[in-house]
Amino acid sequence: MKTFVQRHQDQILGVLSGFDRLRFRGVLRLLQSEGGTATWLERVGVAVKDFLKFAEGLTKRLCRGMDQLAQEAGRKARYLPGVVDKEELVQEIRGKEGVADNGLVAVLKTQEMGMSYTMFRSRGFSVLRRGPRKCNHYYCYWEDERFGLMHVRMSSWFPFDVHVVLNGREWLARQMDGAGIGYVRDDNCFPEVSDFARAQELADEQPQIDWVGELDRVLRRVHPLHAEVFTGVGALDHYWTAEQTEWATDIVFRDAESLSRLYQRLVRHGIDTFQSPDVLRFLGHRMPAHGGINGQYEGDVMSDLKRRHEGVRIKHRGGKNSVKMYNKCPTLLRVETTMNDGQGLKVYRHSQADPEGPRQWLNLRKSVADLPRRAELSQASNQRYLDALSSVTAETPLAEITDRLCRPVSGDGRRHRGLQPFDVDEVRLLQAVSRGEYLISGVRNRDVRRALFGEAQDPQQRRREAGRVTRKLALLRAHGLIKKIPRTHRYLLTESGVKAISAILAARQASLSQLAAA
């Protein structure tokens, strides 16, 4: 990201990274299985055969409590018979009726699928069976003193699973108000901030808070039944997981024209140049030395473009996670990593089996305990994506780059031929040295050899191929596309090399209509 910002620093006002939308799930872990539920019922003195009557009583109490919560705020729990844009409806209610004295904006209810229990007879015994069932779900929207506008989604059937959804930018606005930082807000973006550095400090505080305590506080506000039922001998606490997190990096440009000129080229570069290994690298997956996709990876990798009312959005998906870019408002470029699954990602922590033992690199959990690491990985994803776009500029025509590369040059006491940027073999060479995994650590002769020729079994054949690669690397060095890392056998792309190779590869992938429109 630093490379991207440095390249366009004359056009950029500031950069702000932090949470966008967050969705948490709270469950009572013991009640997620038939055996655990039976154990809990025994604990509180309820026979399994009486479960349905017991659960129906709890459901009625919960529904009455929700209706009462709305009435105390002078509102009514609204039933939604079909698919409705709840966010839009809540904003409409907020505009007409305002916010109640207790902060409540609206209580909505609708029928949705959830997990609950039914009863069946097995060999004369009553047995619980867990499965999907349609039931009423309540959506409680209110203005929280810390997080701003947020909502809780709660199932009305036992075991009353809940979701809490909040917006990091809404929260950040509250933080900036408290710190006296001036800003202009457009939806959930800040195209103007009086002190970007201080605002970033506030955003950096968000992943570090006591998430369990805050989410429990939020739930108590709308779920008093929990404190009545799940206490004493049947005491249970919610286990909170980050079901989905969005981490956005906003780059604010000085004027809309600068971003508009650049954005078209960024989108074209992203869709034409980034391949599946690049997408997985952006999202933090370790890539094998051969540069392809890890053989153990089983998810889908895809990229697509979509035109929305705000502008054009490019999105790259790797399994259940994604990184996308869009021009959120005329002067704001946003890169956003959405994380739904931590598979393949690591966190340095204690093992749950040995909490007093040494820390080690273990799988990233969905638990909010790993939320700081999730934020760190998401920020790194945004940075890698922007760094990969750092070579794109709005001003330099392709002819200026290729004309220089096609001329012969002299260096190291010898004359080197000009490059052939659109020759198939030359393109494969440029692709080999510019792979994303080599941008930081550098590329070796053997890396290029394997990419161009594969792995020969004959040692003499490997030596001949290595000699050919040595001459090819010398050619690229003479043209200033790569440079040798001192005291190593590795080569790094130069700044002009990144710019030239990215432009050539993007132009080669562009369609005739795209080139004609350029």
Q: What is the pLDDT of residues 93-137, one digit of tens each?
A: 999 999 999 899 999 999 999 999 998 887 778 889 999 999 999
pLDDT value, residue 134:
92
Q: What is the pLDDT of residues 462-508, one digit of tens each?
A: 999 999 999 999 999 999 999 999 989 899 888 788 778 877 887 77
pLDDT > 90? residue 307: no
Give the pLDDT mean for 276-300.
69
pLDDT value, residue 27:
95
How far is 477 from 494, CA to CA, in rounded Å?
A: 9
Instruction: Determine the longest span between alpha carbons in the chain, in angstroms.
Output: 95
pLDDT value, residue 126:
82
Q: What is the pLDDT of residues 15-68, one digit of tens each?
A: 999 999 999 999 999 999 999 999 999 999 999 999 999 999 999 999 999 999
Q: Which residues partner with 112 through β-bridges?
A: 135
pLDDT value, residue 246:
97
Q: Which residue has the higher pLDDT, 485 or 441?
A: 485
How far is 485 from 359, CA to CA, in rounded Å?
A: 34
Q: What is the pLDDT of residues 176-200, one digit of tens each?
A: 999 999 999 998 899 999 999 999 9
* Displacement of CA 116 from its chain's centroid (Å): 30
Indicate the pLDDT class of residue 457, thresholds 50, 70 and 90. Answer: confident
Q: Which of 106, 134, 435, 465 is nearest to 291 (CA)?
A: 435
Q: What is the pLDDT of residues 247-275, one digit of tens each?
A: 999 999 999 988 988 888 888 788 877 88
Give the pLDDT mean for 334-362.
90
Contact 99, 105 (CB under 8 A): yes
Q: Which residue has the higher pLDDT, 147 or 264?
A: 147
pLDDT > 70? residue 77: yes
pLDDT > 60? residue 518: no
Percent of the chain's residues with pLDDT above 90: 56
What residues contact 503, with CB distance under 8 A and at least 6 apart?
Answer: 391, 392, 396, 398, 401
**Least confident window among 37-51, 408-422, 431-445:** 431-445
> Is 240 buried (19+), middle (13-18) or exposed (0-12) by CB count in 10 A?
buried
* 51-72 and 34-43 helices, crossing angle to 10°: 80
pLDDT value, residue 34:
93
pLDDT > 70? residue 297: no
pLDDT value, residue 39:
94
How far is 41 from 484, CA to CA, in rounded Å?
A: 69
